[in-house]
Chain A
Amino acid sequence: MRTSTRGSRRVMALAVAAALTTGLLAGCAEDSDDGSSGEGGGNGGGGKTTLTVGTFGTFGYKQAGLYDEYMKQNPDITIKENVTTRTDVYWPKVLTRLQAGAGADDIQAIEVMNITEAVETQAAKFVDLGKEVDKSQWLDWKNAQATTKDGKLIGLGTDIGPMAICYRKDLFEKAGLETDRTKLAEQWKGDWGKYVEVGKEYMKKAPKGTKFVDSASSVYNAALGGGPKRYYENDGTVVWDKSEGVKQAWDVAMDVATSDMSAKLKQFDKPWDQGYANGTFATVACPAWMIGYILEKSGDAGKGKWDVAAAPTAANWGGSFIGVPTSSKHQKEAVALAKWLTAPEQQAKVFAKQASFPSTPSAYSTLKPAAATTEYFSNAPITEIFSASAETIPSQYFGIKDQAINTALTDIGILQVEQKGKSPDEGWDAASEEIKDVLGQ
Chain B
Amino acid sequence: MTSSKEALAHSASSADAAPGDQPGAAGRAHGRGTPPPGSTSWRSRLYRWDMKASPYAFIAPFFIVFGAFSLIPLLYTAWYSLHNVQLANLDGQTWAGLDNYQNLLSSDFFWNALWNTFTIGVISTVPQLLMAIGLAHLLNYKLRGSTVWRVVMLTPYATSVAAATLVFVLLYSWDGGMINWLLEFVGIDPVNWRESDWGSQFAVSSIVIWRWTGYNALIYLAAMQAIPADLYESAAIDGANRWQQFIHVTIPQLRPTILFTVVVSTIGATQLFGEPLLFGGVSGSKGGSEHQYQTLGLYMYDQGWIIGNLGKASAIAWSMFLILLIVAVIQLLVSRRLRKSQ
Interface set of A (CB-CB < 8 Å, partner B):
5, 8-9, 11-12, 15-16, 18-19, 22-23, 26-27, 29-30, 33, 86, 88, 92, 95-96, 99, 117, 121-122, 263-271, 274-275, 278, 280, 400-401, 404, 407, 411-412, 415-416, 419-420, 430, 433-434, 437-438, 440
Contact = CB atoms under 8 A, between A and B. Distances in A.
Given A411-B282, A415-B195, A440-B309, A16 B218 contact: yes
Contact of A438 (B194, B285, B307): B307
Contacts of A33: 160, 162
Contacts of B281: 266, 268-270
Contacts of A416: 289-290
Interface stretch (B46-54, B166-174, B201-209, B248-256): B166-174
Contacts of A419: 174, 192, 194-195, 289
Given A266-B281, A415-B195, A419-B195, A12 B222 contact: yes
Given A26-B161, A400-B88, A404-B308, 5 more contacts: A16-B218, A29-B160, A30-B161, A86-B282, A420-B289
A267 B282 contact: yes
B233 interface: no
Residue with the greatest number of chain B CB neighbours at <10 A, chosen from A8, A16, A271, A438: A271
Name the interface size band of chain B: 35 or more
B87 A270 contact: no
Contact of B87 (A19, A27, A96, A407): A96
B181 interface: no
24 contacts: A15-B150, A16-B218, A16-B222, A19-B218, A23-B157, A88-B282, A88-B285, A92-B305, A99-B91, A122-B88, A264-B174, A269-B169, A271-B173, A271-B174, A274-B176, A275-B175, A280-B175, A404-B308, A412-B289, A416-B290, A420-B192, A420-B196, A430-B290, A433-B108
Nearest to B151: A15
A326 B305 CA distance: 23
Contacts of B146: 8
Given A5-B225, A419-B195, A420-B290, A19 B88 contact: no
A39 to B, nearest CB: 20
Interface in B148-187: 150-151, 154, 157-162, 166, 169-170, 173-177
Contacts of B107: 437
Contacts of A18: 154
A271 B170 contact: yes
A138 B304 CA distance: 35
Interface string B256-274: 0000000000000000001
Contacts of A440: 309, 312
A11 B221 CA distance: 13
Interface string B283-306: 101100110000000000000111
A407 B280 CA distance: 13
Secondary structure call for the A interface: helix
B289 A121 contact: no
Contacts of B308: 92, 95, 401, 404
B61 to A, nearest CB: 16
A99 B305 CA distance: 15
A370 B222 CA distance: 62
A381 B165 CA distance: 41
Nearest to B196: A420
Contacts of B173: 270-271, 274
B101 interface: no
B88 A22 contact: no
Nearest to A419: B195
B109 interface: yes
Contact of A8 (B147, B166, B195, B286): B147
Contacts of A268: 281-282
B34 interface: no
Residue with the greatest number of chain A CB neighbours at <10 A, chosen from B108, B195, B304: B195
Given A8-B146, A12-B218, A407 B158 contact: no
Contacts of B90: 96, 99
B89 interface: yes
Given A23-B157, A270-B166, A15 B225 contact: no
Nearest to A427: B289
A270 B170 contact: yes
B215 interface: yes
Nearest to B166: A270
Given A12-B221, A274-B176, A278-B176, A30 B289 contact: no
Nearest to B311: A440
Contact of A19 (B157, B195, B222): B157
Given A30-B160, A121-B88, A266 B282 contact: yes
A264 B194 CA distance: 12
Contact of B289 (A26, A27, A415, A433): A415
A5 B162 CA distance: 36
Contacts of B176: 271, 274, 278, 280
A15 B109 CA distance: 42
